[in-house]
Amino acid sequence: MIVAGRKVAVVGMGGAFPTCKDLDDFDKKLFAGESMIREWPKTLQYPKQIRSTVAGYITEPEMNLEAIHPVPETEWPETYVDHLGRIPDMNLSTADLGCVWAMLGAQESIAMAGWTKEETESEQTGVVIASGGGGNVVSRHAWHAFYELGKKTRMAGSHTVDRAMSYREAANVSCLIKNKGVCESIISACATGLGNIGYAYRLIRFGLQDRAICGGVEGTALETFIGFDAMQVLSKGFAPAESSRPFDINRNGFVCSFGAGIVALEEYEMAKARGANILAVIDEYFNNSDGDGNMFYPSYDGQRRLWKGLMAGGNVKPDVVKVHGTATPVGDILELVSVAESIGESGYHITAPKSQFGHMLGAAGSVEFITALLMLKNQKVLPNKNSDTLNTELENFQKKPDWNGPTKPASEYRHLISQDIVDKEINQIVCLNYGFGGTNSAMAISRDI
Amino acid sequence: MENANERKEILDGLIEVLRTVRTIDPARLEGVTEETDFLTDMNTPSTELINIAAKVEQKFDIEFEDEDIDRMGSKVKDVIDLIIMVKERGANN
């Protein structure tokens, strides 16, 4: 349980972001209101098989990486070459693309944190990172070579396990930075990114670790995209920059995106004592489950209980609520009214950063956490792009006889949902993310003042 | 009697394969002889040996039996012996 007097600071961040060459570029594009969503050439190769064609994807060259294809006619990457020499070849040989991004994000986070080699390699430094999906790009070749081509298992390569196992990102980062504390993954679908940061926060708050590298990743993979496209939950029919439309009446699905968000956490007094630049202090983390037996449908009761748990300590009064806001037909407005019911209808702004870069799945929570850190730094609220028209009528779920939440339509909350960047004093931000299986997570962070 | 030229050709082909293995330091491929040991001299990670075997199969258009690989030593000459043996086995079938 919580150890009295222990607080947790965020002291570093890094990762991989669509169309951005680095974190600074991401910061600039976000606060210029730019979209990072593009038409994805890979989807266009299968025009008869795929519905959605837009994504927030990242290619290997965009990260100064090169995939080595020993069999030219396949997409299987035997390994990656880092043209900037950041990651040793030995570490690259055990990594899929998402793992490489995680390692780069970890290096950036540690550099920004200013940890010494001894601190990084300490028994008191943990690694908690995961992705939402499996190592699909690596697995596909292995299964194809064995089942379809009838090849020996060795033709799948001897790194199919380490490059595709569920906790590959944590394992690869730990082998790179050589920490001696915990190395684990918390996997909870689209709540994964925030869930790993939340777990790492607890490790420090509970006195089990002093430092942690944590976050979420989703490596570019058409295989991952295909699964969601099959569910018909992806945005379709809009120009790329207009395709992610949280809260807008014409929203018809999310934009499937990829990326990595890694942060460095440290026990507050230790960070303060060594003069670290404190990006934020984590005030609270709370997570729960819907408990209604529904795999997909968001739960108003689950989200209300989430807020209740987050606010139990009496220290949560956000200036900004960074919502999950995927732009799926049901989720956005249910989330909107649960926020309004929980913390009132004024005095804060809501922002859905997915409007600029789409839904990064297992990376969503951590990359959006980084957007919250940048909002604290810049003292600006990110825009809800494309939330052009809010429904003036009640949503279907609000018309059900057992509905016990607000009976106002989305348009009544326009003052909370700006389409433009808002300049204001921001002292506290709440981050929300949810995932399939009915998992809900919430974190409150504050400026260190 | 094995043909010395054949062994040299296989050695050259093997070095070509090894150059594509990114976890082997290219500097260690200078002066490789049949007596060079993959594990001790080239510092090859043991997990890479199976990848090298798979690449050798593609390069020389042969297929090892699982037992061949189980028995294979870690010196360059062991791999060359195996390639010749498997090639001959294929020719006799």
For residues A234 and A215, the answer to whether their CB atoms sit within 8 Å is no
For residues B78 and B72, the answer to whether their CB atoms sit within 8 Å is yes
Beta bridge partners of A321: A350, A430
Query: How many other C-beta atoms are found inside a 10 Å radius of the C-beta of residue A300?
Result: 20
Greater confidence, B29 or A350?
A350
The alpha-carbon gap from B80 to the nearest alpha carbon of chain A, in Å, equals 19
User: What is the pLDDT tens value at each position of chain A, 449 positions in all?
Assistant: 788 889 999 999 999 999 999 999 999 999 999 999 999 999 999 999 999 999 999 999 999 999 998 776 778 899 999 999 999 999 999 999 999 999 999 999 999 999 999 999 999 999 999 999 999 999 998 899 899 999 898 888 889 999 999 999 999 999 999 999 999 999 999 999 999 999 999 999 999 999 999 999 999 999 999 999 999 999 999 999 999 999 999 999 999 999 999 999 999 999 999 999 999 999 999 999 999 999 999 999 999 999 999 999 999 999 999 999 999 998 999 999 999 999 999 999 999 999 999 999 999 999 999 999 999 999 999 999 999 999 999 999 999 999 999 999 999 999 999 999 999 999 999 999 999 999 999 999 999 98
Residue A278 included in any domain = yes
Look up residue A193 and give its two tokens. Answer: 């990114």
Which pLDDT value is given to residue A399? 96
Residue with tokens 């909002």: A375
Size of interface A-B (CB pairs under 8 A): 33
Which pLDDT value is given to residue B2? 58
Residue A434 included in any domain = yes
Output DSSP code: residue A146: I
Q: What angle do CA A243, A364, A42 make, to 5 degrees?
A: 50
Q: State what percent of residues in chain B have pLDDT above 70.
A: 97
For residues B18 and B52, the answer to whether their CB atoms sit within 8 Å is yes
CB-closest option in A81, A154, A157 to B22: A81
Angle between helices A23-31 and A364-378 (to 10 degrees): 70
Which pLDDT value is given to residue B93? 65
Look up residue A48 and give its two tokens. Answer: 């008869």
CATH of the structural domain B4-92, one choice from 3.10.20.30, 1.10.3720.10, 1.10.1200.10, 3.40.50.620: 1.10.1200.10
Q: Any long-range contacts for A392-400 (C-beta under 8 Å, 24+ apart)? A: A395/A330, A395/A333, A395/A334, A397/A300, A397/A330, A397/A334, A398/A337
User: What are the E-state strand segments in A22-140?
Assistant: 38-39, 54-55, 65-68, 79-82, 125-131
Q: Do B20 and A90 touch (CB under 8 A)?
A: no
Q: Is B72 exposed, middle or buried (0-12, 13-18, 19+ CB in 10 A)?
A: middle
pTM: 0.95
Mutate to test the interface with B, among A73, A149, A158, A165 (most CBs of B within 10 A): A158
Q: Do A89 and B69 touch (CB under 8 A)?
A: no
**Could you list the residue range(s) of the whole structural domain that residue A175 is in?**
8-400+408-446
Cα A170 from Cα A127, distance rounded (Å): 6
Residues on B contacting A at a C-beta cutoff of 8 Å = 20, 22-23, 45, 47-48, 50-51, 53-55, 58, 63, 66, 69
Which pLDDT value is given to residue B47? 82
Which pLDDT value is given to residue B25? 87
Residue A2 included in any domain = no
Residue with tokens 């009640």: A394
For residues A48 and A316, the answer to whether their CB atoms sit within 8 Å is no
The CATH number of whichever domain residue A176 belongs to comes to 3.40.47.10
Closest residue, chain A, to B59 (C-alpha): A70
The alpha-carbon gap from B5 to the nearest alpha carbon of chain A, in Å, equals 28
CA distances from A19 to A65, A294, A375 (A): 14, 36, 20
Name the pLDDT band for B4 (thresholds 50, 70, 90): confident
Q: State what percent of residues in chain B have pLDDT above 90.
A: 42
Q: Which residues of A touch B22 (CB under 8 A)?
A: 68, 79, 81, 89, 92-93
Q: Which residues of B touch A81 (CB under 8 A)?
A: 22
Q: In what order do the strands lie in the sheet with A8-16?
A: A183-184, A125-131, A211-218, A259-267, A8-16, A280-289, A439-446, A428-435, A320-322, A349-351
Q: Which residues of A touch B66 (CB under 8 A)?
A: 152
Which pLDDT value is given to residue A70? 79
Beta bridge partners of A50: none
Which residues of A are catalytic, by number?
190, 324, 359
Name the pLDDT band for B51 (thresholds 50, 70, 90): confident
Overall domain count for chain A: 1
Average pLDDT over residues B10-38: 90
Average pLDDT over residues B8-25: 91
Residue A242 included in any domain = yes
Mutate to test the interface with B, among A81, A155, A175 (most CBs of B within 10 A): A155
* ipTM for the whole predicted complex goes beyond 0.90: no
CB-closest option in A92, A152, A155 to B22: A92
